[in-house]
Amino acid sequence: MRVLMLGWEFPPFISGGLGTACYGLTKAMSGIGTDVMFVLPRPVSSPFSTHVKLVSPREGSPLAQPATEFRMDEFENVTFRTVNAALNPYQTAMEYQERDEAKRAAQELSDSSTKDATGQVAKSAPTGGGNYAGDMMSEVQRYAALATEIARNEDFDVVHAHDWMTYPAGLAVAALKNKPLVVHVHSTEFDRSGVHVDQRIYDIERRGVHGAIKVIAVSHFTKNVVAHHYGVDPKKIEVVYNAVELNGNGTFDAEKYSIKRDEKIVLFLGRITMQKGPEYFLAAAKKVLEIMDNVKFVMAGSGDMIRRTIEMAAAMGIGHKVLFTGFLRGSDVERVFKMADLYVMPSVSEPFGIAPLEAVANDVPVLISKQSGVSEVLTHALKVDFWDTNEMANKIVAVLRHPPLASTLREHGSFEVGKMSWTDSAKACVSIYDQAVAALR
C-alpha cells in the first residue's frame, strides 16, 4: 500500500495538535511498513538539519517553484515533499484579513509587560506559528496546484488529506489519478468558529467530506458533527482516535515566573482562542483563589484571544496569579507538565484533544470538558461541562487539597494512556484505505 498524504504541519513546525497527530500517525505507518509520501506546504529550512537527510530535489516542474524531496532517518518508509505555500489551519478568513493588525498587537504585547496590583511583572511571550503568512484561499488553491503537479508523476494507491486546507488538493489529485480519497477530520469550522462559520471554509469542508470515499473522524463527537452539519452518511465515517507522542525542543525557564515551592500549579496548555475556553479557565481560577491562595495558574499558548485574556485576568484582580508563557513545544512542554499539579482543558468544542494525553503521559492528573473527543477514551479523568465554572473550581480544589485523589487519577490515567498507541491508529487507517480502494474498483 502506498499513500499520498496531504497535510500542512509537521514537527518542528507546528501550531497545534494537528502537527503532533501527523507526526505520530506517519511514524507509526512507517513502522508497520506502509509507504507514505507526505506533501508539506513549506520549504526545508535549518531546523530540520539535525534529523533530516536530504535527497535529490525534483526539478523541471512547470510551476515557478519546484518541490524539495527529503527523508527523515526515523521514518524509513516515508518520503517528504515540501512546496512553497504558506498555510495556517487555525486562522479564519477574517483573521487573515486582520493579520497585519494582529501582528502589530502581538509585537506590542511582546515589547510590553502587564503589572498586577502587587507590582509583579508578567511578560507576555511572542505568539507561536510565525512560519505562516499570505492570503488563505489563494494559498489553499496554490497548494492544491503544487500537490497535483507532484502527484502527476507518482504512483500510489490512495490519497489521505488532513483537514480542510488540503481537501481541494485531495479532490484534485484523486480526480487526476482516479484514486480513492480519504479525508481526515481533526477539526471543523463549527469547532473553530461556533455558529458564526465562514461560509467559504464550510463549503470546502462539505465538498471534501462528500467527495471522499471514506471519512476519518478523530472521535464520535466529531463524527456526529460531520454527519449532522454536513449531511454525510454516518456509515461512511470511521472513528480513529489519536494517541500521544512527545517530540520537539525548547527552553522553558521556570525560575523567571517566581513560583514558590509551596505553591500549586494548575495548567492550561493550548491555543488561547474561543474554542479552547480560556475565559472559563479564568472564571474557575478566580473561584479557586477565593478558597486557596497558594495556587498559580499557568496559561501556555498563543492565539487571537491572548491580549483579551491577559486583560481579563487583570480586570478580575488575579493577574498576579495567572502566568502567560506564550507558545511552547517539545521539552518546554515536558518541563511545564513536570511543574503542574493539575492540567485543565475547558474546551467549548474539542474534536479530540491530545494535550490531556500528554499530561497523563507526564504523570499529571487531568480535568477535561465533557465537550471533547478525548473524554470518550479517558475514563480516569475528571470531567465537567465547560460552562460550569463552579463545578470546575470545586474539582480543581479537590485535586489540590486531596493527594490520594490526585494519586489515583495519575496511576489509573497512566495505565489508560499506556494502552493507546499510534500503531493501532495507523493500522485502523490502513484498514480504511483497503475499504476505500475496494469501493472504487
Strand partners, 217: 185, 239
Q: Which grid coordinates belong to 60?
A: 523541471
Residues 210-237: pLDDT tens digits?
999 999 999 999 999 999 999 999 999 9
Q: What is the model's pLDDT at position 133?
A: 39
Residue 146 lies in a domain: yes
Q: Rounded to an integer, what distance in angstroms lies between the CA atom of residue 379 and that of residue 413? A: 8
- 95: closest CA among 302, 303, 276, 299? 303
Residue 399's CATH number: 3.40.50.2000
DSSP character for 7?
-
Q: Rounded to an integer, what distance in angstroms lies between the CA atom of residue 36 and that of residue 103? A: 36
Q: By the 8 A CB rule, do 85 and 136 touch?
A: no
Tell me, yes or no, whether 284 and 378 share the same domain: yes
Residue 167 lies in a domain: yes
Cα 15 to Cα 44, 185, 408: the distances in Å are: 17, 17, 32
pLDDT at 125 over 70: no
Residues 18-50: pLDDT tens digits?
878 888 898 899 999 999 998 887 644 434 333
Q: What is the model's pLDDT at position 333?
A: 83
Q: By the 8 A CB rule, do 409 and 382 touch?
A: yes
Q: Which has the minimum average pLDDT: 150-154, 160-164, 194-198?
A: 194-198
Tell me, yes or no, whether 9 and 156 share the same domain: yes
Tell me, yes or no, whether 294 and 187 share the same domain: no
3-state secondary structure 168-224: HHHHHHHHHHCCCEEEEECCCHHHHHCCCCCHHHHHHHHHHHHHCCEEEECCHHHHH
Residues 379-431: pLDDT tens digits?
889 999 999 999 999 999 999 999 999 999 988 887 788 788 899 999 999 99
Tell me, yes or no, whether 232 and 331 share the same domain: no
Q: What is the model's pLDDT at position 47?
A: 43
pLDDT at 310 over 90: yes
The one-letter amino acid code at 229 reads: H
Q: What is the model's pLDDT at position 188?
A: 94
Q: What is the model's pLDDT at position 259?
A: 62
Residues 240-259: pLDDT tens digits?
999 876 443 334 455 555 56
The one-letter amino acid code at 149 reads: E
DSSP character for 130?
T
Tell me, yes or no, whether 413 and 280 share the same domain: yes
Residue 435 lies in a domain: yes
Q: Which domain holds residue 188?
A: 2-89+135-243+422-440
pLDDT at 56 over 70: no
Residue 120 lies in a domain: no
Q: Quickly tell me which residue has 520537539 as its cell.
A: 248
Tell me, yes or no, whether 48 and 73 share the same domain: yes
Tell me, yes or no, whether 253 and 388 share the same domain: yes
- 221: closest CA among 347, 363, 92? 347
Residue 130 lies in a domain: no
Tell me, yes or no, whether 295 and 341 share the same domain: yes
Number of domains forming the structure of the chain: 2
Cβ neighbours for 204, distance < 8 A, ≥ 6 positions apart: 140, 164, 167, 168
pLDDT at 113 over 80: no
Q: Rounded to an integer, what distance in angstroms lies between the CA atom of residue 419 and that of residue 414? A: 9
Q: Rounded to an integer, what distance in angstroms lies between the CA atom of residue 253 and that of residue 325? A: 10
Residue 110 lies in a domain: no
Q: Is 227 helix (H, G, I), strand (E, B) or coil?
A: helix
Question: Percent of the chain scored above 70 by pLDDT?
Answer: 76
Tell me, yes or no, whether 314 and 413 share the same domain: yes
Q: What is the model's pLDDT at position 332?
A: 82
Give the global pTM: 0.76
Q: What is the model's pLDDT at position 126?
A: 35
Residue 256 lies in a domain: yes
Q: What is the model's pLDDT at position 9?
A: 74
Q: Which grid coordinates belong to 168?
A: 481541494
Tell me, yes or no, whether 381 and 263 share the same domain: yes
The one-letter amino acid code at 204 reads: I
Q: Is 36 exposed, middle or buried (0-12, 13-18, 19+ CB in 10 A)?
A: buried
Tell me, yes or no, whether 61 and 181 share the same domain: yes
The one-letter amino acid code at 342 reads: L
pLDDT at 278 over 60: yes
Q: Rounded to an integer, what distance in angstroms lies between the CA atom of residue 148 and that of residue 145? A: 5
**Helix extents (H) in 70-115:** 93-97, 99-110
Tell me, yes or no, whether 428 and 407 share the same domain: no
> Hey, how many other C-beta atoms are within 10 angstroms of the C-beta on 270?
28
Q: Which has the minimum average pLDDT: 107-111, 121-125, 381-385, 396-400?
A: 121-125
pLDDT at 109 over 70: no
Q: What is the model's pLDDT at position 85?
A: 66
Q: What is the model's pLDDT at position 8?
A: 76
Residue 353 lies in a domain: yes
Q: What is the model's pLDDT at position 22?
A: 85
